[in-house]
Structure 1
Amino acid sequence: MTAAADDILIRVRGVRNQFGEQVVHDGLELDVRRGEILGVVGGSGTGKSVLLRSIIGLQTPDAGDITVFGEPMIGREETEAQNVRRRWGVLFQNGALFSTLTVAENVQVPLREYYRRLDATLLDEIAAYKIAMSGLGPEAGPKYPSELSGGMRKRAALARALSLDPELLFLDEPTAGLDPIGAAAFDALIKSLKQTLGLTVFLITHDLDTLYAICDRVAVIADKKVVAVGTIPELLALDQPWIQEYFNGPRGRTAAQGAETLHEEAVERDRPASAHHDVDARG
């Protein structure tokens, strides 16, 4: 089904990224729909993070067009681009927190950049609220990144990404380095925030559990392009070697089985009490 133009939050057309003799993308195209969690996958070196950086303006493509919120992002004046950038948040790979700032001060960085007249009390209140939204306790605010666990640093970076009340959230490998329990908890947090805040999420990940748990669609980068976009069942129906190897390999099958188990548990949990009584009565 083709999405209406108003439903496309990010539109990438004909993008080419080249570094010296190495061509990373050539004619890459992608649409991200409003309100979805789009997972982006691909083998090492396919340029997933390069694509993200191209969209948010940290990398200028050699060719092509990118629009976000209907606004062109290539060749714009800096002041014009800032008006668009304040509408999104970014969680960079490994968090990219400023090591010399506390968690609260890290969260305040975007606020100080875009809203310079906010007083210290209000900045502290907003930072505390965003830290709580990310699932951290108030004791995390005055701590430095070096004093946090890996999972806590991810959540602190998420709090900073949420500081400007974004409509669009970019996540680069958010569960990398987390244990399975921590990764699952982070996935659940992202899904909850997406539903509560009405976010659109652009998510780069290698984590198959994440893809099955929270992504509405998945875009696959291979051969310098996006070769397929769809739900996981739609992708599995394609005769594309990398997709089949990725999703039907041992880890892919394990993730699929885990997702099916979680779905069955959710259905059972959500059944009306009377249905449970009927089963008991028949037993």
Structure 2
Amino acid sequence: MNDGDIRTKVTGSDASYAAKKEADKPVGLGHQIKELVRFVLSVAVIVLGVRTLLFEPFNIPSESMLPTLMVGDYLFVSKYPYGYSHHSIITSPDLFSGRILDSAPKRGDVAVFKLPRDNKTDYIKRVIGLPGDHIQMRDGHLFINDQVVERQRIEDFVVAVSENTICSAPFLETAEDGKEYCRYPQYRETLPNAVSYNTLDLNPAGPSDNTRMFVVPAGHYFMMGDNRDNSLDSRRPQSTGVGYVPAENLVGRAEMIFFATDGGAHIWEPWFWFQSMRYKRFFSFL
């Protein structure tokens, strides 16, 4: 038998030993970096997908939606109720126009949208006017299609003064224990579709309490803040406020407050949470 005819056979034990030796080889740095990059990219794709298609977290930076939303509130905004535009994607890349799976918001929804004058800044207001509606403020009362919206005076809205609470006379008061509070006049409004919510009226004769008649154009919405005297909304033109909001600028519907502080701690500062939490606002649905 020639040497060329000899074929080496590896027994089962030899094969196992060879596999074990191969597995015991140290993993190179290049391979580790490759696996790390793959993992990070996978997580990024999942997060981007969730934030684009399902939910995105937002935090409240102003008092324009008091008493419904307070500075220091963190909330989830759902993306799917109104369909998707390029503003549904982080950084609003100009990939397409219009909306996919378009669905109109309901009157009374609390919605996040891109400010029309720059198409970048996130705003949050309440949907008051739908396409074709006639909207007007008269002596602090909201009129929709020449019908006054039901408005009832209720108990004052009281909030403890904090670094996120802007308060001055005549609303500032001091309790017996020395703590300072803001006490604001509060009203309960009920829209024609029976959606009810609370509003603040800090100045009965404020500059936005009497307006011209607004006729909402097709494909647009009229937005207002619940803090009626402290909100740059659709009662102001786009140059200084919000103006009419195109349907394409809608980002999503606010659903639930999942975390809230009085401003003394951010969500990434757990060592300050205990002293600044607003626990009663946790898991409040809007």
User: TM > 0.5 between the two?
Assistant: no
TM-score (norm 1): 0.26
Structure 1 or 2: more helix by fraction: 1
Larger Rg: 2
TM-score (norm 2): 0.26
